[in-house]
Every structure is written in structure tokens, then in C-alpha cells.
A and B are shown apart, each in its own frame.
Chain A
Amino acid sequence: MSGVLIHLPQEPALTVRLGAGEVARFGRGSDTMPVELRLDDPAVSRLAGEIRVSDDHWLLSNHSTTQSYLVENPEGAGEYLRVPPRRVGAPIPFEFARVVLPTRGSGVSFQVFAPDHVYLDPGGPDGLPRGTQTLTAYSLDETATYFLVLVALCEPRLRDESALAVPTTPEVVERLRSHPQCAQLTARAVSAHIDYLAEEKLRINPPADREPGRGARRNGKREALVGIALRFGLVGEGHLRLLPTRTTAAAGAVRTGTGRR
């Protein structure tokens, strides 16, 4: 349980971490109305609302008397919630959410991540009560884009194409391109998913000073992710079906990539 992460896409970007039971207020703010998350837009109230962490999710309160806020699930194919004016403590069920406040222009928005969502382990009895079962302490949403990225990273080793190679970020983008969920996927987004997996979901110890010569930190992180996901069975052969079928060209590209190392 590490709470939620709030990311304000401004310059410089601001990331706020809230633990269980903690609250952050958002709005334009003022000397008499301090807020933790400042949204600098004249159309936003001084105190526009607040976010409170509860269990493994979060609650959104709308302090505006006139405006509804939208909470979008960027991975949910247009799935969203409308939080009406004066609503207190609306529970938000998305692991990834973008909160949009209406303004004259395109709206002010910020992102909220809730990495604590719990899933039962796969492979248990279907539809039977599970009692106090021993679970993998790191649960992953197998329908999320980050999981596709993880499977794509593990693919060469799962197919025994190479015991060593881990695809590069551009290779992952290429591999997932034909997946309906990933048509817009950029290299930057893949890097963000890798960071999210490593830091928030699996909380991987970076292989600190193992190979000081090889500077590429993200490379080390990618390899550590794959090693751990396979070692502890978080990704298995069965997950390969989540990936789009490989065209000959794509398969070739992966092999070329492997060969380059």
C-alpha cells in the first residue's frame, strides 16, 4: 500500500505522493486558501476540490457549485466519470485517471495513479471463495498497457529466442503497434510504463553497482524487470497471447534487434 501519486503536467512538473488517509486540495489557491496542487487558471476556483486516499483507491470532492469535473480513464477506451458540483468523496475506480476541470480553453487537467489495486492470483479456482489466501504481493492488471509492455519485454526470453536480449523501447513500440490499445503508443509512453512498473508496481531494487561500466540506467531497469517478472512467474508463456500476432517482418525486426547486441 503506497497510496496514490498525483502528477501535475506543468513547468516544472510536480509529483505529489499521498499515503493512506491523506488529503490534497487543488485549485487556484490564494494567501488565505493554500492548496497542495496549484492549478493556475482564472477559471478554476481558489479551492476547486480535494483528493483523499481511501483503501486502495481515492475519493474526489468537487467544491465547485456550478461545474462538473471529468475523470477519464486514459486506458479505458473513452471510459469516464462525471463528478457533479458539490459532490463529496466520489470513489474513483481507475488505476490511471486524468482529472479534467472545465476552463475557457481546453481545460486544466492532472493525472492520478493508484498503483495499489489488488488482483487475485491467476490460476486459482474460478468463481470459488478464496478465503485468506497467500497472494503475490505485487499484483498487476493484466488488461493494462503496462502489462502489455512487460509481456513484450519478456517475449524473446519466453520464446527462448535469446536468453539475454531484452527489447529496446523502440522495439517494444514496434511490437505493440498493431494492438488496438497501443495505436497511439509512443516511445516516451513506453519508458513511462517501464518506470511505473519498476518503481510503483514491482518496486525493483535497481541493480546498483553491479556493472558500473554500463551507464544506461533504464537498460538495467528493463533487464531487472524482465528477470524478476519471469523468475517469480508474474509473466508466463500463457500471456504471449495478449500480444498481437507477429508478422514475418516484425519477427525479423526483433531478431535483427537481438543480433545487434
Chain B
Amino acid sequence: MSGAAEPLSGATERIPRGYRVGAWEVGEPIADGGWGWVYEGRSAGGTDGDAVVALKFLPTAGLAPRQARGLVESARRESEFGRRTRHPRLIRLLDSVVLDEPDRPELDGAVVLVMERAERSLRQLLETEGLLEDGEGVRILTEICEGLAYLHGQGWVHGDLKPDNVLLMADGSIRLSDFGLSAELDGTHGTHAWIPPLGTPDYLPPERWRAPLGERGVQVRPSADVWALGIMIHQVFTGGASPFPGATAAGRGAAVQEFAAGRAPLRLDSAVPPFWRGLATDCLAPTHDARAAHTAQDLLARIGAAAGGDGDATTGEGTAPAAGARRRGRRLVVGAAAATALGAATGAAWWYAVGGDDAGRGKGDTAVHAENISGTSAPPAAHVTVFNVEKLCRDQKAERDQQCSLGLAIDPLAAYTVDNVVPTRVWHGDVLPAECRMSQGLPVTDEVGTRSTEWYRVRLPGDATPSKAWLPAVRTKDRPTVSECA
């Protein structure tokens, strides 16, 4: 609501310039939404004459009493939220005023929320700048995740997370805003909250499209915000494009349903860097249960870990010194993503290949090699134990959930596409006999950013065909002393 970029032809007349709201004087209109208007406000003759705020008017006049009640409810949620939370990543609510204007029925009873003045919304930024520089997108997403992790940690769900509600301050920092649909998680169970049946179609998770409506509204869980974050990750790296195809929001909603039903793979744009691709895929896990494994706190930890490691994996800069090399890398990634989805391992557990040229190989490999170089004579019975970096998959390894299965390649030098995967899947904890290793195969990066060009040729259990396949070294913690494959 507070970020619409359209010209405000119809809105300018609503509240005259200079109109007083508490200690504030109304200035330029900022935004106009279906439910309210946002104006700039300046301190009216106080000591801090330069202070600038945003005044969000939620008018109740001209509405049926029940609709007005709904708006007051929304304003109450927002100011309640503002009073109880304070965080550098959330827009600050400074005050709220109820207008008493018996002579001006259109304003009488309106609720005005006085908030920090932001410069523009993320949506406006994406619309005017198109593609952001890598570093900026990464910083914005990290800050969004910080705000979300705090919000969820306090037991709240945002409920309407989208680029319009991500505001940029004058110093470039991020504030989450528009808490009109935010709700506190249910006190007894703490798993969900209830909000009115409102939402922005492009950011609703698949389960919301079929969510039943009760007297308290619809149920939302923090995983709904995580889904919206996944959409925004994609948008930030693609100049605002949704990962789901379709000309209209309804079309994209249908594409979300097709994806959730397993009838279409998730096709992320190749412009999304590998690390963020993994993160977005987890945020866009098709079910609440799969998504719940990735809390905002976990995602933030992953971002922190990746940014702190060798060559900042969050920007992809450590692995892509030249634009040409990077473009080649991206093409490979597309193939890998499609293969994964077709291989029924959508969601949590998948991995992807990056790079393909020497320049693209990271420093991670060298360490792995060093451990192996010593062992040249292979003992006859070397084994590797499959390791899944997803904790949930490790905890639930006994269930052998399809979403936790990992793939094996037919050829470690070829692109990891659907044609290059054996039908046999493996799970965390599986022990496979290792025959030999290939130290210079296609580089593989796992979900937390560990890379390696090393592969092990393993024998598959039972009478699987083919009987042998290749496991990327990032999929095991073992470093068996096997010789280089002939």
C-alpha cells in the first residue's frame, strides 16, 4: 500500500497540503492504495523543524460500517505491532492519531499512522533500475532476511511481504513495512496466526490458494513469508520478474499450482547466482512442511556463513572472475535445476553444478585434494557414507522421503542434466562401496556453498542398472583412499 509508484492523479485532492495531523503538517502525496493514502509529513514549527515522516491515512468515511470496522482493525494491528516491536529492519511507527473532523465527513474518524519516512520501495527500485548490482541485491536480501528473522522470532507473521512493502531509507538500508496484515502467532500452539482473507496474488504460497476461510479469517504461518521471500530473491536478481510464468497474476497463480502439484518444475532464471538459487529453491518448497524446515533464522545463518567463507558465495564473485566464464556457468546451472525437478527431488535436497572452466574452480577443491593425494594404493574395500547437508533430511533419514533423496551421475564430466542421472536415488546415511575417484570432474556446489570437482565412482546396491554411478565428493564427509579412476 505504501509503495505504489503510479502518478497520483486521483489522490492529490484528498488531503490538502498544510493540513495538520497532531504535530505534523501534510506535504506531498507519496502513495495511493485501495485502502488508504500515504503523504509526506513535516514537523509543524517544532524544534526539530527538519524532521520528515510518512503519514498513512486510513479513512473510514464513505465506507459501510463493517468495512470501516475492518480498516480500524487493520490500523489497530499495525499500531499494536508498532508499539510492541522495535528493530532496525522494521519501519518505526512514531505515533497514531484518530482524526476528529465533524465538519469534514470524508476525514472524520480516519486513522493516521505516523511513520519513518522512507525514500522508496524495493518495487520502485526494481522498476527504475532494472538489474541491481550484485552487491546491492545481496545486501537488500540479507537485510530483508534480518527483518523477517526478527519478526518470526518475536512470534509474528508479516502476512503481506512483497517489494512494495520493503522500503529503502535515505542511507540505503532496508525497512519492512505495512503491518496491516501482520498477526501474532496463536498463543496456545504458536504455529499459525489468523488474518483477514487478503493478500497479493503473486506472493501467496500454493496452500493459500486453497486455504479455507473461517470466522477468524485464513490461517497463515511463517512459512508463507518465507515463500514470499523466495519470490523476492528471484525478483531482485532478475529486475523484478517472478519465477513463475504467466501474463497475469492469475496465470502465475496457476503456474504455482502446477509446480506445487509436481506437474511443472521450478524454473529459476539463470541470472540468479548459485547460492541464492539454492536459497530461493528452499524458500519455494512446494509444501508448508518442506518449507518449514527453512526458517528465516536458518536462511539468515546460511547467508552469513556463505558471505563469511572463501570468495563471497553470496555474490558469486569468488567463482566468476570474468563475465564470459560466468555466463557459461549459468547455462550449466539451468540444466541442473531442470534435471533436479524432473528427478523428483524438488525442494530441499538438490545440488547443482557451476562453472566448467578452470577459472571457475574455487579454492575449496584444493583442500579436498590434499587429503587424497597421499593415498595412492587403494585398499580393496573403501566405502563412502552419503551425507545430506539438510539437517531435516539427516534427522528423518529413516523415512527415505523422496524430497531428501540425492542423485548420482552417469558421467561426472558431462552436464548434470536429466539424461545424466541414474534411476537409483540415495539417502543420507547410505553406505556405498567406492571404487575410485575422479579429481577433475564437473565442479559441484552443495546447498551451503561447499564446492568440489571431485567425484567417487560407487557400486549401487542390489542389481540396479547401471550397477555403477558417480557420487560428488560434496555428498559425503568420507575421504576414502582410492586411486584415480583409469
Contact = CB atoms under 8 A, between A and B. Distances in A.
B251 A204 contact: no
B254 A132 contact: no
Given A125-B32, A128-B9, A236-B67, A21 B213 contact: no
A53 B255 CA distance: 11
Contacts of B64: 233, 236-238
Given A56-B251, A134-B35, A135-B200, A19 B215 contact: no
A137 B254 contact: no
Interface in B170-222: 181, 196-202, 204, 208-215, 217-218
Contacts of B211: 137, 203
Contacts of A230: 66
Interface stretch (B156-164, B288-296, B359-367): B156-164
B5 interface: yes
A134 B33 contact: yes
A159 to B, nearest CB: 12
Contacts of A233: 64, 66-67, 70
B257 A129 contact: no
B268 to A, nearest CB: 19
Contacts of A109: none
Contacts of B308: none
Query: For the side of the interface on A, what is the size category?
Result: 35 or more
B317 interface: no
B213 A202 contact: yes
Question: Do most interface residues of chain A lie in helix, strand or loop, or is the interface mixed?
Answer: loop
A21 B262 CA distance: 11
B198 A1 contact: no
Given A56-B254, A132-B123, A205 B214 contact: yes
Given A21-B264, A55-B251, A131-B5, A232 B164 contact: no
Contacts of A205: 212-214
B263 interface: yes
Contacts of A124: 34
A138 B213 contact: yes
A116 interface: yes
B468 to A, nearest CB: 37
Nearest to A204: B213
Contact of B215 (A21, A118, A133, A231): A231
A137 B263 contact: no
Given A3-B257, A134-B160, A136-B197, A228 B215 contact: yes
Nearest to B246: A55
A156 interface: no
A126 B64 CA distance: 19
B210 A203 contact: yes
B393 to A, nearest CB: 28
B103 interface: no
A132 B163 contact: yes
A145 interface: no
Contacts of A133: 1, 4, 33-34, 200
B250 A2 contact: no
A245 B341 CA distance: 58
Interface in B284-335: none
Nearest to B255: A20
Interface in B353-401: none
A40 interface: no
B405 to A, nearest CB: 24
Nearest to A234: B197
B28 interface: no
A21 B218 CA distance: 26
Contacts of A137: 197-199, 201, 204, 208-209, 211, 218
A115 B123 CA distance: 30
Interface in A73-130: 116-118, 121, 123-126, 128-130
A1 B244 CA distance: 14
7 closest A-B pairs by beta carbon, nearest first, are A20-B254, A236-B64, A55-B251, A56-B250, A20-B257, A124-B34, A205-B214
23 contacts: A1-B253, A1-B256, A19-B258, A19-B261, A20-B258, A54-B254, A55-B246, A117-B250, A123-B67, A125-B10, A128-B9, A131-B5, A132-B162, A133-B33, A135-B201, A136-B198, A137-B211, A204-B214, A205-B212, A207-B215, A231-B66, A236-B64, A238-B64
Given A56-B251, A233-B70, 6 more contacts: A3-B257, A19-B263, A56-B248, A128-B6, A135-B200, A228-B214
